[in-house]
Amino acid sequence: MIEEDFYATIKLKSGEEIFAKVAASEEEDRTLLILSNPIVITEVTTRFGFGGYKVEPWIKTSKEDMYIINFDDVLTISESSDIEIIIMYQSYVRESQNGSSKKDRKTNISKKMGYISSVNDAKEILEKLYRNS
């Protein structure tokens, strides 16, 4: 019997902390958790303080989107109603399903962006500006 899906933060006995859409399932004499697109969320800080969050897949070497873990491997589980985290998760899932990533979004350099020069040309221009100031 599979329970209704819910968003949750799961702390595993291994120390890993993951966020996913979760469904619980009773199989024979054990409880299994079915995780949909589990992610790891890391706080990113700058030298000025808090900067935001970094979202990565829980398992980086697999393209699977469903994982099953034994409830015995879970230290604690907390259902999440944090809209900010849920929206961030849904956005990540959408992007990963569309196959887009930041690596794919390269910007082509054009003259509209500014002056394009070689290192030597830029060095000469900057030296002239320095000498004339």
Q: Which domains are assigned to the chain?
A: 6-106 (2.30.30.100)
Would you give the DSSP letter of residue 98?
A: H
pLDDT at 29 over 80: yes
Tens digits of residue pLDDT in 113-133: 566 667 888 788 888 888 887
State the alpha helices, DSSP H only, in 62-118. 83-98
Intra-chain end-to-end CA distance of the chain, in Å: 78
Triad 21, 100, 107: Cα angle to 5°? 145
Question: In the prediction, which pLDDT does 11 show?
Answer: 97
Q: What is the pTM of this model?
A: 0.68
Cβ–Cβ under 8 Å, residues 50 and 32: no
Question: In the prediction, which pLDDT does 32 show?
Answer: 92
Q: In whole angstroms, what is the distance from residue 29 CA to residue 8 CA?
A: 23
Comparing 130 with 21, the larger pLDDT belongs to: 21
pLDDT at 100 over 60: no
| Residue given tokens 């859409």 in the structure block | 21
Tens digits of residue pLDDT in 51-98: 788 899 999 998 899 999 999 999 999 999 999 899 999 999 998 888
pLDDT at 106 over 70: no
Question: In the prediction, which pLDDT does 2 show?
Answer: 60
pLDDT at 102 over 60: no
